[in-house]
């Protein structure tokens, strides 16, 4: 698929998503600057969701929005998305309201090529 052809892995994409989630936590719902290219906002919603795939634990309802100012692109994902991508290589079905296109994640988040 697209991910393999791009030279990335699902794990690398999930790690990049997690990096931005952690970078934005201090902003408490406001955009904060990560570096010259990126700003990130993390919004926490009360409550937790189980993974529909089963597996351990519950996932916080947290939305992470990453703004790539160099590309004028923005993407929003949840903690559940990070789990889906990293553990299942799953981006939600085409046409799904919460679908994330792997290519959008790779480009917008500037995911490094996997070594």
pLDDT at 97: 75
Overall pTM > 0.85 = yes
Task: Provide the Cα torsion 20, 23, 26, 29; round to 10°.
Answer: -20
Helix (H) or strand (E) holding 81: helix 79-83
In b/e form, how buried is each residue of 44-75, taking b as 16+ CB within 10 angstroms?
eeeeeeeeeeeeeeebeebbbbbbbeeeeeeb
Please name which of 29, 40, 101, 104 lies closest in space to residue 67, comparing C-alpha atoms. Answer: 40
Mean pLDDT by runs of 10 across the 115 residues of the chain is: 94 97 92 97 82 76 94 95 93 83 96 88
Instruction: Tell me what pLDDT residue 43 has.
Output: 92
79 in Cβ contact with 60 (< 8 Å): yes
Positive or negative, the Cα torsion across 36, 12, 72, 29?
Answer: negative
Tell me what pLDDT residue 87 has: 92
Report the pLDDT value the prediction gives residue 88, as an integer from 0 to 100. Answer: 92
């Amino acid at each position: 698929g697209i991910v393999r052809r791009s030279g990335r892995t699902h794990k690398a994409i999930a790690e990049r998503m997690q990096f931005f989630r952690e970078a934005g936590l201090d902003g408490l719902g406001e955009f904060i600057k990560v570096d010259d290219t990126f700003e990130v906002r993390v919004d926490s919603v009360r409550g937790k969701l189980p993974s529909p795939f089963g597996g351990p634990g519950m996932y916080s309802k947290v939305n992470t929005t990453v703004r790539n100012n160099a590309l004028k692109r923005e993407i929003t994902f949840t903690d559940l998305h990070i789990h889906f991508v990293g553990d299942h290589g799953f981006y939600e079905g085409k046409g799904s309201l919460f679908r994330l296109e792997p290519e959008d994640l790779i480009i917008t988040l500037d995911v490094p090529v996997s070594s």
